[in-house]
Chains A and B, each alone.
Chain A
């Protein structure tokens, strides 16, 4: 296995081999995180690194960026063996990484953000003055910045004024200051809107033209096509495939990532099982009447029926999250009422929402969702502690039983119910949060970006779960940036733009492939993004 297969690597040429990681193994306290992994990279190629949560991608990248060292294996950089023991060595070699989370300080100007951590920019002073000459530095970065859509004027404005795309661009420019040969992008599209993603992909092509080799980690497999040249696919700590992207389709990738049995489970985009009863005379359960909040929500009214899945479409900042937060009583609104089963209710605090039977799975799971120090058990019981109280005290047996019940029901993967929630994978954390909501016995469940940052297999499970819940008669509100996800899930979709309700899709077609999926998607896209006339 260790011979032959990659003989062509040593060939010199226009697109020469820049990195060759071979037979990389890493054990952590008895767990084999990486097992004989290979990764080959050529100059100027976009290389997708794919795999489910826990497949070993991040460990491999940690090794490449000097954050940890492999137990076995070799790394050849431009043909010469190197050992990347520290991040500094990685930087000197020209290996940079842009992390999934934005590393932008909002109060600093774009220029200062570009300089962040790039001492070379600041110390290379032309004049013998003790101060940093910002104009001088601006001159230096200007041309690169323009290439990535940052105008000269914008260099001086605080980064906080700009959206996620511009911040990504700042990170790219920052990484280019040290002239990287390899740039690692970890989920660069996270937090971007659909149309912004295209622009980011343009940036990635520019990087490619500059001769930078890109290693691109993404969970959004559909993005890979048409952009990535090659891919390494990892599963269970092994690199199971090294392949050209050309000539593959989505299913091929999925079966490589999760095994062929899994691919069968993961549904085709065309098939979907809608929550069963579609008759419009289902009883109304929630009425949101004229929600107003200065500058954020403009007179929004809608209703929700029993057993219905209502999708909310819109760009970030359109007021989707703000709307559901207002319903939950997390944010205050200026005016507006909520009718629950036809009765007007004041929900001034999330606790009241839970008491009424409204529960929410929030966006941004790591920050807003999980209580990181809690064990899985505590995470599930927290929203309704009374469910485990026995004669006045929290009962640990009840708590454990409650947890095991949900672990079984939602097939949560965990060593035991005492495991801290932060040690679980993204998909399993999300299931724990859903369990927490279910434990309050809600009539309405609100999901804000429920599949953000979780792998394809978990995503399918979460989707199925949402549909099952609706099937049991619970009403569901779903917010998702990915329009295809929204169409696939929802019975009905309302569309928000700049805080106003601008449209509604009453009947989301059953068979989205056949019955105008494209039309619906185009319709939504048009409505959510049309500029104010």
Chain B
């Protein structure tokens, strides 16, 4: 019954627009900037993007479940601080990792409890924990100079090369693949979508929406902790304000990838595409020798254009599918009677 043209079918594939834009950008930059395709340069800037990459994946779960988590950036910063600190104390590397993860998880837990048990607005709650985490890092770095752990192993967390790719990137890839699988192929993932589409109808359908949201916030916190460990291992120095603003980049990436802030729509790979898009954009502009002062403006414009185009295409696809939805009647046939008396 469906009579969509090939073009509208193609364009209706979720995420296709941003993917095309991404490919076009790659082509543009490789023509414009010679060193753009240089392996080391690629490896470098992707390595830099890993922490944002990791929190964007967690954030994607929260957003699809219909929530928002603003705390991830500063939680990532604080987790970097705590794990580097204990490593500097001489704790073994696995302890440092656990401390970093626990820092993230405890903030995730705090968010989850206040939002799902006390039913406070998620925006406010995570704004509060954003300040707490960021303040805690300031206090932490005010007492101790967080630079230079003696533990070689801690530095290796993010820096072991395997098949020419650093362990940080490997871990990010594994997280992305596993969590995409969780989102699409498990009951938990399905409940995340249902909760985001509509909490009340999902509840009536028998879904524990609060538990589902709880899980999403906890995961988001945990991934922020993990991102913090990688960042600390990568930089080997943590200062106040580290990773502040990462949450905004993560939100922008997710939205650019087509994860709907209204909930119920999106996927991990699309959010990742958003991250790659924004980081590649920055790198490309840098290599083209464009004044870094205008980077933010260009980034902002790209987000706006990307979202507007994506929304337009979604609407286009939507109206097509509604209008072409067949008007099946049970009782077809019957001659046309023009006038009946």
Contacts and interface: CB of A to CB of B under 8 A. Distances in A.
Given A1-B338, A238-B336, A413 B204 contact: no
Given A237-B327, A354-B206, A372 B339 contact: no
Interface in B154-196: 181, 184-187, 189-191, 193-194
A413 B325 CA distance: 11
Contacts of B185: 393-394
Given A29-B3, A349-B208, A368 B200 contact: yes
Contacts of A238: 336
Interface stretch (B54-62, B118-126, B236-244, B316-324): B316-324
B205 interface: yes
A419 B4 CA distance: 14
Contact of B202 (A5, A241, A354, A371): A371
A240 B337 contact: yes
B340 A360 contact: no
B338 A261 contact: no
Classify chain B's interface size: 35 or more
A28 B331 CA distance: 22
B187 A386 contact: yes
A296 interface: no
A213 B235 CA distance: 76
Contacts of B265: 373
A256 interface: yes
Interface string B260-293: 0000110000000000000000000000000000
Contact of B323 (A1, A33, A368, A436): A33
Contacts of B326: 31, 54, 413, 415
Interface stretch (A129-137, A377-385, A484-492): A377-385
Interface in A230-273: 233, 235-238, 240-243, 256, 258-262
Contacts of B320: 29
Nearest to B322: A423
Nearest to A244: B341
A80 B203 CA distance: 54
A385 B331 contact: no
Given A238-B336, A374-B193, A393-B185, A353 B328 contact: no
A261 B331 contact: yes
Contact of B328 (A28, A372, A413): A413
B340 A440 contact: no
A354 B264 CA distance: 23
A527 B334 CA distance: 45
B197 A372 contact: yes
A183 to B, nearest CB: 25
B264 A351 contact: no
Contacts of A423: 321-322, 325
B294 interface: no
B207 A382 contact: yes
B190 A243 contact: no
A350 interface: yes
A381 B150 CA distance: 54
Interface in A24-59: 28-31, 33, 52, 54-56
Given A351-B208, A394-B190, A440-B206, A370 B201 contact: yes
A373 B196 CA distance: 10
A362 B204 CA distance: 8
B340 A240 contact: yes
B20 interface: no
Contacts of A29: 3-5, 8, 320, 323-324
A31 B3 contact: yes
Q: Which of A52, A369, A374, A457 has the most CB of B within 10 A?
A: A374
Give chain B's interface secondary structure class.
Answer: loop
A111 B83 CA distance: 62
Contact of A54 (B181, B321, B329): B329
B2 A382 contact: no
Contacts of A381: 190
Interface string A383-421: 111100100111000000000000000000101000110
A28 B324 contact: yes
A378 B329 contact: no
A31 B330 CA distance: 17
Contacts of A28: 323-324
A36 B332 CA distance: 18
A374 B197 contact: yes
B194 A457 contact: no
A206 to B, nearest CB: 30
A177 interface: no
Given A31-B3, A393-B185, A423-B322, A383 B205 contact: yes
A150 B99 CA distance: 67
A374 to B, nearest CB: 7
A436 B201 CA distance: 13
B135 interface: no
Contact of A31 (B198, B201, B324, B329): B324
Given A31-B3, A367-B201, A394-B185, 17 more contacts: A56-B327, A236-B332, A240-B336, A241-B339, A262-B330, A328-B204, A330-B203, A351-B208, A371-B194, A373-B197, A374-B193, A378-B193, A383-B205, A383-B206, A415-B2, A420-B321, A457-B331
24 contacts: A30-B3, A31-B3, A31-B326, A31-B327, A233-B340, A235-B329, A236-B329, A241-B337, A241-B340, A328-B204, A350-B204, A354-B206, A360-B204, A367-B198, A370-B201, A371-B197, A371-B198, A373-B264, A373-B265, A386-B187, A393-B185, A413-B330, A423-B322, A424-B325
Interface of A: 1, 5, 28-31, 33, 52, 54-56, 233, 235-238, 240-243, 256, 258-262, 328, 330, 349-351, 353-354, 359-360, 362, 367-374, 378, 381-386, 389, 392-394, 413, 415, 419-420, 422-425, 436, 440, 457
